[in-house]
Structures are given as C-alpha cells and as structure tokens.
Amino acid sequence: MFGRKRKPDDFSAEIDAHLQLEVERQRELGLSEEEARAAARRVFGNVMHAGEHFYESHRWLWLDHFRQDVRYGVRTLRKSPGFAVIAILTLAIGIGANTTLFSVVNGVLLNPLPYPQPDRLVALYARANEFTKFSISYPNFLDWSRQNHSFSSIAAFRGETFTMTGIGAPERLDADMVSAAFFPLLGVNPIVGRNFEEKEDQLGAARAALISEGLWKRKFGGAADIVGKSIRLDNHLYTITGVIPATFHFQNDNYHSKADVYVPLGQWDNPLFRDRHTGMGMDAVGRLKPGVTLAQANSDMSAVANHLAEVYPDVNKGLGVTLFPLKYNLVGDIQPFLLMLLAAVGFVLLIACANIANLLLARSTSRKREFAIRNALGAGKGRVVLQLMTECVLLALLGGALGTLLAAWGTTAALKVLPDALPRASEIHLDARVLLFTLGASVFAGILFGLVPAFKSARSDLQGTLREGGRGLSGARHRTQSVFVAMEMALAVVLMVAAGLMIRSSIKIWSVDPGFDPSNVVFFSFGSAQSLGATPDAVRQSYRQIHDAIAAVPGVESVSLSGASTPMETDSELPFWLEGEAKPASQADMKPSLFFAVQSDYLKVMRVPLKRGRFLTQADTAGAPVVTVIDERFAKQYFGNQDPIGKRIHLTIVNESAEIVGIVGHQNQWGLDSDSSNSIQAQCFLSLEQMPDALLSAFDRGASGVVRTRNAQTDIAASLSRAMQTVSSDSVVYDVESMNGIISDSLATKRFAMALLGVFAVLAIVLSALGIYGVISYIVGQRTNEIGIRMALGAGRSTVVTMVLRQAGRMAAFGLVAGLLAAAVLGRLMASMLFGVSFYDAFTFSTVSVILLSVALAACWIPARRASHVDPIIALRCE
C-alpha cells in the first residue's frame, strides 16, 4: 500500500490509539486515570513534533508552502493596492515593451523563412568590381543554371506591372515574371491548378499566368473552374493555369513582391531581355543541393563565371557571381538595429526592476516587524526569502500578463507605423516563442527585483526589531536604494545618449542638400494596356502629348517624363567611354554613370541648378544630333580641369557618340545618408526622345515622371489619371508618391530606430525620475526626526533643502558618470548606424548630462520642500 498517500487524519488516529493503549497499560500498573494520562504523554514525548514530522515528509509539502505563499502574497498585495498597482504598471510597461520588440526580432530575425528547408535557399546576383548586387542578364542566368553543379535548381524573377482590362475598370496589377522553377523551388503549390511548366517558360510559348488568391477572390469570385479562363494583361490574353495561395510571400533584399499575377519569365519578348549586356532588374534565387556548402557553391559559381568570361570576353569579363543566404540577404541590414533596440528595451526593464526593488526595500522597513514575528514563530530564513520571492514573482507575472496585452496592442500599432521599415513585417506575431520569452522575462524580472530586498529582509535582527517596534534607521538599506537609483540613472544615460546620437544623425541627414528641391514634387508611373504608338516615332509623339496634357492640369507648374533613373527611387546605370579612347574590351572596363532619360523641363521640376552650357530642349529629338548633359561630379571625375562642353562620350546604348552640351548640379541618388559612399557618382542626362528605337520599346507602354505643383496637392493622382486618359484611354497612373515621402521612406530604418530609442529613453528617464523621487521621499520620511532636531537647533529651510538636494545630487552624479562611461564604451557598437556624428559626440553627452541632472533635481524638489516644512515640535513629539 505504498504509493497511496496517508491522510493526516489517519496518522493522528494512530497516535491517539497509541496514547490510549499506553494509558490503559499505565492504569494496569496501578496509576490513577490522570496520572496514567500524564505518564503516557511523557513517554510519548512531543506529540506535535511527531505530527509535524509526518506532515513535512509529505511529498507535496513544497506545493503546500507554495500555495500558502501565493495566498499570503495575494493577501499582502491586496492590503497595499497602491504599491501593487504601481509595481504592476511599471512592470507591464517594461515587459510589454520587451515583448513587443522581441516579437519583432522573433518574426524578422529568428523565425525561419516560410519555405521548406529555408536554410538551403540562396540569393544570386551578378558582381562587377565592387558592385555586389548587380542585376543578372537573362542569357547569363540560363548559362548559370545549365553549368553549375551546386544547385538543385535556380530560378529568376523580376517585378513588372501590367494593366488589366476586361474585368471592370482598367487596373494596374503588380506582377512577377518568374522562371518555371520558381514556385517548385520555394515549395509552393497552387491551391487550384498547376505551376508553370518548362515549355511555357520559353519565348513564343502560349501566354500563361498564375494569379494570386486575392485576385481570384476579388475578380473571379473564387470560381472553382478558374483554370483555363483568361485574363487580359497589357492587351494580351493570358490563360490562367492556377491560383497561388495568399499565404505565399516573397521578399529578397529590397524587393518585396506584392504580385497579383505571375507570368513565365522566359516568354518575355523584349529584345533587350535577351541581350547579354543588359540586366533588366532580374535577380535569382537558388536551392543548394543536399550537402553542398555556401563556400563550395561560391567556388563552383566562380568557375562558371570565369568560363563565361572566356566565351564572351566583351560582356562577361570581370563579371562574377555573388551568393548570400536568402535570409541574411533579407534581414542582414536590419539585424544590428534590432539587436541594439532589444538591448535598449532590456535596459528599460532593468530600470523598472530597480525601481520596484527600491519600493520593496522601502516597504520591507515597514514590514520588518512582520518578518521578525514570523521568525520568532519559527519560520526559517529560507522560508521567509521564499515567501517574499513568491510575492515578487506573483507581481511580475501579473505585470507580464498586463504587458502581454500591451504588447499585443503595441505590435499591431508598431506594424501600422512602419510597414516599409522592416522586411518580413507580415511574419511578426505573438507566437508561442514570444509568450515563452515573456514568461521567462517576467519570472526573471521578479527574481531580479525581489532577490536583494528579500535577503535584506530575512537578515533583519530579530530581537532588535521587536524591541524597536519596527522603526529606526537602517543605513544599509539607504545605501542599497541609492545604488539602485544610481544604476537606473546610468542606464537612462546610456539610452539617452543612444537616442541623442540617433536624433543628431537624423538632423544631420535631413540637413544634407539632396541637390534638388523635393517639396511639391510628385513622382508617378503610368502604364497603358496597349503600346503608346505603332512606331518608335509615334511613341515619341505620345510622350510629347502626355507631357502637354499633364502640363495643362491646373496647379501643375512643370512636368518631365522619365525613363531611367529617378533620384532615390530607381537606378539605371550606363557604361560609356570617352571619345578619343579606344573602345574598352569589355563592359567591366568601361566607366559607369547613372543615366537619366528625361524631357526638357526636368531641371525646372527638380530645381536642379544649371551650372554651364544648356540643358536638353524640345529640339533634341530623334534625328537631331545626340546630345547629353552631365553633372558636376561626372565633369570632375572624368574631365578634371578640362572643359567638358563640346567633348563627346560613347554610350553603350546609343550607336553614335553624344556631345556634352551642359553641366548641371549633382542630385543625391542613393539616399541622403549614403549617397557619397556609393561608388557610382557620375550622372548623365539624355533626351527621352533621343533614346534609340530598341530601348524605346522597353518604355512603349509606360514610364515614370516627375511633376512640380504650385502647392501641395492632395488629389494629384486623379488629375494625372484624367490627363493620361486624354492621350490613351486605357492607361493607368500608379505609384504616385511625393518626393519628400520617397526621401523619408529611404530613411525608414533609421527613423524607426530613432523613434523607438527616443521612446525608450523617455521611459527610462521618467522611471529613473520616479525612482529617485521615491527614494529621496523615503529618506526624508525616515530622517524627519533628525531634520526636526536640526531645525530646532537653528537650521534654516534653505539649509535643509540643500542638504536633501545634495544627497539626491550625489546619487545622480554617480549614475551620470557611470552612464557616460558606459555610453562611451557601448557607443562604439552603434558607430555604423550614425551619420555625421561620432559616438562620443560631446554635444550629445553634455546635453544628456544637463537633462539628467535637471530631471533628477526637479524630481527631488518636492521631497526637499517637504523636508524644509517639517515642524520641529511635531517631529520631536513623535519621537
């Protein structure tokens, strides 16, 4: 019958029986009833002790204690609701902020990509000299696929937009052109129908399309017989082969597919696409064969690239291959920011813990009597510590639960604010791992803030306390509290310095001159289902008409269509060589320049200054001599002190050389914070109408443009659409975005980091201010008698105020110095995220010092005043 638990009742019955038997025996020996009873008890010894022994060997004793402690804890907390509410709220903020940020880190950095065996996926790029992420040309891609030995398959993809007609109003659809291998490689199966087949991924194959689940439901009502139906894109009919599930997301570096429709890449009939010279914005993704490492794949692909360089020396010489693990490619850039933020938010929690520890220390003074009594009644030290810790973990768990609610709200709110700042934003949820983290963080926090106060309480001197009646000074406790406050201050200083540096960086970034005036400039794209003209000349004609139609819109000041680069939005590079030089043997040996294909009003729209000569005019059209305008950096880099005007350059896409007719200011192309660090600085402009016919065919269904309005216009998109429709009835205007918006989006990551750091720094300073306020108030309360005596002896109010503030100032100063030292050491870690300021920026450090000291002194002003108003009589009478 072991295993079955004995009930305490059963045990006491046994003891009773024993005593009874003994009494009877003693009576038999001739004792009276009373004497026998006494004798039985005597020989038995301590009945209570035997009972306790039984009870304590009960296997679930600790659970019993735990239950007792929890009950006791709840009761204690309920008795001091003020303390409980403050502690729980502080913790909820600390834990909630940590949970929110961890859910971001979890979704973005920790979770694997949502494909089978995601760690085998690799992003592929072409590499030319220091440019590691070049677009791959399709012929090279096909050779890479055929000649490599490392990948079970590689698939190419590029973004495209189509105008869909025939179902309701014309609509611009985001599309992906993908290799047939694309979906199988990522392990995606259509929910209806089938993936593309190899034979559909060929030039001249019948047009086929896969559509997104969203489009299927929106435009086809989720019809089960969708396969075989057709969809009209850019006025061609595509047969639908299947539906891609809505759960599918694809992102690669800065490419975030929002495609509603997918078409086989190999069908694309643009002649430039099959030109080995030209990368048409196409990237690739590959799946490594089992057992092949990234290093092996790298050397394999180098061999492939070297072989191609031998076969096509004029194009492929110097052209390599870059491989990145797909996940790293996606989140590598944001990782340091997120880890920094996670550390920062951890600091906030530490500060919150220090605050609560101080509250507990203060409370433990008033609970001293309680502990002493419990101790006197036989509670061991371990038991008291355990009981206090239970109370703390209970608090922390309540705080954590509330924090989780805050985090659920915070995560949603954060995602709404920063959709562009983060890759994989759609994968951020409060999942099991996040909740586990929260639980862990809560328990850890509870132990952290509970441990020191618990041990301090348990160590209290029993007799002294009982005699003192629970009052009296406890200098050691002051010291611990002061250390905690100094620590909080130090952590707050580190956060404030970090936030300050980010803010200073942002100010520096925003004060960078972009080289153009972005205010009231709107960028837009337009597309048409049909070609804008049957012949290249007709297309040129349409461009002029579109220009005039948009220019006539009320409120529009000037407009220029644009076919290649747009500052901070699209990049198009063009290799060239100077006239008088021998034509370089390969493209890699040519000089690179950014290339803008624009109309004559471009300078007016962007307010780029003309430095010398003239800009492009309407006379620079097909048939007229080809001219180009270069920017200052182009002039300086390639002509030095020579006068470039009148010189000629050979551009690879134009058959004849172009004469340089003017020099304009440099536009910031690569983003305010990184323009000067990019290796392509030179910029040249060509007239859109002087584009060779072959290139024009790439833009015959649409292009982009920039338009300057007289003042900020809200409905410019609709106006542009209407203007476009007058030229081409089934055209669409899309991607309308203010130039200021484009600039701020390019800084989204930095702004995101700055905003969060700012929030954390404010939280930190508020919590520290509360912390120092609490401790100083407490100390003033404890020193009331002493202050009373001092005042009775003639100390003035200002003396008392100074005395209190000096004590506060000492704590703050210790914290400040420690914090500044820590910031100087830790700042190094964020050096790469800064712009225009060093991590030991004196201005930031001194501003933070002033703020911290002011806040600390302000927080202590109230208790200091209270101290100075102590009535000596009352204070002394209390003694």
Partner 1 sequence: MSTRADREKLELLQGTLDLLILRTLIFGPRHGQGIARAIQETSDEELLVEHGALYPALQRLEERGWISAKWGTSLNNRKARFYTLTAAGHKQLGKETAKWTRLAKAIGRILGSEPAGG
Give the end-to-end CA distance of the chain in Å, rounded to a whole number: 64
Measured from the CB of residue 20, what is the shortest distance to partner 1 in angstroms?
6
- Tell which one of 25, 37, 207, 865 touches partner 1 (CB under 8 A): 25
Site string for partner 1, 178-217 (x = CB under 8 A): ----------------------------------------
Measured from the CB of residue 40, what is the shortest distance to partner 1 in angstroms?
8
44 touching partner 1, by CB under 8 A: yes
Measured from the CB of residue 12, what is the shortest distance to partner 1 in angstroms?
11
Q: Which stretch binds partner 1 (CB under 8 A): 36-44, 149-157, 744-752, 798-806?
A: 36-44
45 touching partner 1, by CB under 8 A: yes
What is the C-alpha to C-alpha distance for residues 441 and 397, in angstroms, rounded to an integer?
9
Measured from the CB of residue 66, what is the shortest distance to partner 1 in angstroms?
23
46 touching partner 1, by CB under 8 A: yes
Measured from the CB of residue 65, what is the shortest distance to partner 1 in angstroms?
20
> What sign for the dihedral angle of Cα 500, 504, 505, 507?
positive
857 touching partner 1, by CB under 8 A: no
Measured from the CB of residue 52, what is the shortest distance to partner 1 in angstroms?
10
Residue 328: phi, psi to the nearest 5? -60, -40
17 touching partner 1, by CB under 8 A: yes
632 touching partner 1, by CB under 8 A: no
Nearer to partner 1 by C-beta: 21 or 862? 21
832 touching partner 1, by CB under 8 A: no
What is the C-alpha to C-alpha distance for residues 632 and 492, in angstroms, rounded to an integer?
46
Measured from the CB of residue 15, what is the shortest distance to partner 1 in angstroms?
7
- Tell which one of 7, 8, 39, 338 touches partner 1 (CB under 8 A): 39
What is the C-alpha to C-alpha distance for residues 746 and 341, in angstroms, rounded to an integer?
20
> Secondary structure of 186-236 in the HEC alphabet?
HCCCCCEECCCCHHHCCCCCCCEEEEEHHHHHHHHCCCCCCCCCEEEECCE
Contact 359, 774 (CB under 8 A): yes
Measured from the CB of residue 59, what is the shortest distance to partner 1 in angstroms?
10
Q: Which stretch binds partner 1 (CB under 8 A): 16-24, 265-273, 548-556, 585-593?
A: 16-24
DSSP-derived 3-state class of residue 11: helix
The helix or strand, by DSSP H or E, that contains position 135, with its residue range, turns out to be none
50 touching partner 1, by CB under 8 A: yes
Measured from the CB of residue 13, what is the shortest distance to partner 1 in angstroms?
8
Contacts 24+ apart (CB under 8 A), 321-324: 321/124, 321/125, 321/126, 321/127, 321/144, 322/124, 322/125, 322/126, 322/127, 322/132, 322/133, 323/122, 323/123, 323/124, 323/286, 323/294, 323/297, 323/298, 324/122, 324/123, 324/125
Q: What angle do CA 73, 78, 81 make, to 5 degrees?
A: 125
27 touching partner 1, by CB under 8 A: no
- Tell which one of 32, 33, 38, 49 touches partner 1 (CB under 8 A): 49
Nearer to partner 1 by C-beta: 48 or 377? 48
43 touching partner 1, by CB under 8 A: yes
- Tell which one of 7, 9, 14, 143 touches partner 1 (CB under 8 A): 14
Q: Which stretch binds partner 1 (CB under 8 A): 53-61, 325-333, 411-419, 768-776?
A: 53-61
- Tell which one of 1, 224, 582, 793 touches partner 1 (CB under 8 A): 1
Q: And the tokens for 345?
A: 């938010």
Q: Which stretch binds partner 1 (CB under 8 A): 50-58, 115-123, 687-695, 810-818?
A: 50-58
Q: How many residues bind partner 1 (CB under 8 A)?
A: 24
Measured from the CB of residue 60, what is the shortest distance to partner 1 in angstroms?
14
Measured from the CB of residue 68, what is the shortest distance to partner 1 in angstroms?
23
**Helix/strand/coil percentages in the chain, nearest 5:** 55, 15, 30
Nearer to partner 1 by C-beta: 1 or 377? 1
- DSSP symbols for 584-620: PSSGGGSEEEEEEEE-TTHHHHHTPPEEEE----TT-
Q: Which stretch binds partner 1 (CB under 8 A): 20-28, 100-108, 345-353, 810-818?
A: 20-28
Measured from the CB of residue 478, what is the shortest distance to partner 1 in angstroms?
47
Cβ neighbours around 124 below 10 Å, total: 27
Burial of 228 (0-12, 13-18, 19+ CB in 10 A): exposed
Measured from the CB of residue 821, what is the shortest distance to partner 1 in angstroms?
58
Q: Which stretch binds partner 1 (CB under 8 A): 17-25, 322-330, 420-428, 597-605?
A: 17-25
Residue 342: phi, psi to the nearest 5? -65, -40
- DSSP symbols for 711-729: S--SSHHHHHHHHHHHH-T
2 touching partner 1, by CB under 8 A: yes
Nearer to partner 1 by C-beta: 2 or 290? 2
5 touching partner 1, by CB under 8 A: no
Contact 135, 282 (CB under 8 A): yes
The helix or strand, by DSSP H or E, that contains position 836, with its residue range, turns out to be none
Nearer to partner 1 by C-beta: 39 or 435? 39
Contact 707, 716 (CB under 8 A): yes
Residue 533: phi, psi to the nearest 5? -170, 150
Of the candidates 584, 684, 680, the residue with the CA atom closest to the CA atom of residue 644 = 684
Q: Which stretch binds partner 1 (CB under 8 A): 9-17, 133-141, 192-200, 837-845?
A: 9-17
Residues 6+ apart with CB under 8 A from 148: 154, 297, 300, 301, 304
DSSP-derived 3-state class of residue 623: coil
Measured from the CB of residue 49, what is the shortest distance to partner 1 in angstroms?
6
Burial of 640 (0-12, 13-18, 19+ CB in 10 A): exposed
54 touching partner 1, by CB under 8 A: yes
Cβ neighbours around 187 below 10 Å, total: 14
Nearer to partner 1 by C-beta: 1 or 224? 1
- Tell which one of 7, 30, 34, 57 touches partner 1 (CB under 8 A): 57
- Tell which one of 8, 32, 38, 53 touches partner 1 (CB under 8 A): 53
b/e 283-306 (16+ beta carbons within 10 angstroms → b): bbbbbbeeebeeeebbebbeebbe
Nearer to partner 1 by C-beta: 11 or 66? 11
20 touching partner 1, by CB under 8 A: yes
Contact 621, 608 (CB under 8 A): no
What is the C-alpha to C-alpha distance for residues 395 and 453, in angstroms, rounded to an integer?
14
Nearer to partner 1 by C-beta: 13 or 206? 13
What is the C-alpha to C-alpha distance for residues 258 and 411, in angstroms, rounded to an integer?
22
Measured from the CB of residue 34, what is the shortest distance to partner 1 in angstroms?
16
Of the candidates 656, 871, 864, 715, the residue with the CA atom closest to the CA atom of residue 785 = 871
Strand 283-288 relative to strand 648-651, pairing = unpaired
Measured from the CB of residue 458, what is the shortest distance to partner 1 in angstroms?
28
Residue 839: phi, psi to the nearest 5? -75, -10
22 touching partner 1, by CB under 8 A: yes
Q: Which stretch binds partner 1 (CB under 8 A): 19-27, 260-268, 415-423, 834-842?
A: 19-27
Measured from the CB of residue 51, what is the shortest distance to partner 1 in angstroms?
9
DSSP-derived 3-state class of residue 302: helix
Nearer to partner 1 by C-beta: 47 or 851? 47
Q: Which stretch binds partner 1 (CB under 8 A): 51-59, 87-95, 134-142, 660-668?
A: 51-59
Interface residues toward partner 1, by CB under 8 A? 1-2, 11, 13-15, 17-18, 20-22, 24-25, 39, 43-47, 49-50, 53-54, 57
